Amino acid sequence: MNTGLHIRHRTRPRPDRCAGGLTLIELMIGLAVLAILGAMALPQIGARLAQQRLSLAAETLAADVAEARFEAARRSRVAVVSAQAGAAWCWAVDLTGTPAAASPTSSASAISPAAPPCPCKADSGCATRQVMASAHPGVRMVHGLTVRLESSGRAEPTRLAVFESSRGQRLRVEVLAMGRARICGEGGALGRYPGC
């Protein structure tokens, strides 16, 4: 039976649930997760940065020793690398040394660290290259000596410098008998450097 009455149901329009966007709660939860992850990663980032700064200081000194050794042989002169520890540490490379014929007869000799031939803390004009502590922030030099590189390439084996990071990690720069620089970690391997 058809009564002819049609009942129409009025439906209220529904908001579209598939619309893009985030609610405020979802956004806050996402930010909280990111903050927690960042807080967990921050100490490792700081340690890595300190290790990179330490490596850079040691590698720069080792490169300066290699350059001084090369120039001593090329110029037939004695080269001196002087590292001075302390609050305002520095090192200097002196390539203005005596000619090889005028140097002492021994093929390897060390110079006393108390009286370096060319002080790096003053602008004396004798240093071919000077590096100051300000070039390597966050790194201290806790030990420094002076080494003489003969024109033959030989040197007195010595622990030229020990650098320390702000986190207590230490790298040592040694000069071997053939005048080559070697970097090693004091207290065990550190990064790509073997232990001393």
CATH numbers and ranges of domains, the chain: 24-185 (3.55.40.10)
162 SS3 class: strand
Residue reference for tokens 């232990």: 195
- pLDDT at position 187, please? 85
Q: How far apart are CA 68 and CA 149, in angstroms?
A: 8
pLDDT tens for the chain, residues 1 to 196: 566 666 666 666 555 555 578 889 989 999 999 988 888 877 788 888 889 999 999 999 999 999 999 999 998 989 999 999 988 899 999 887 665 544 444 333 444 333 345 677 666 666 788 899 999 999 999 999 999 999 888 888 889 999 999 889 999 999 999 889 999 999 888 889 999 8
Token pair of 25 as six digits: 């709660």
CA 114 to chain centre: 27
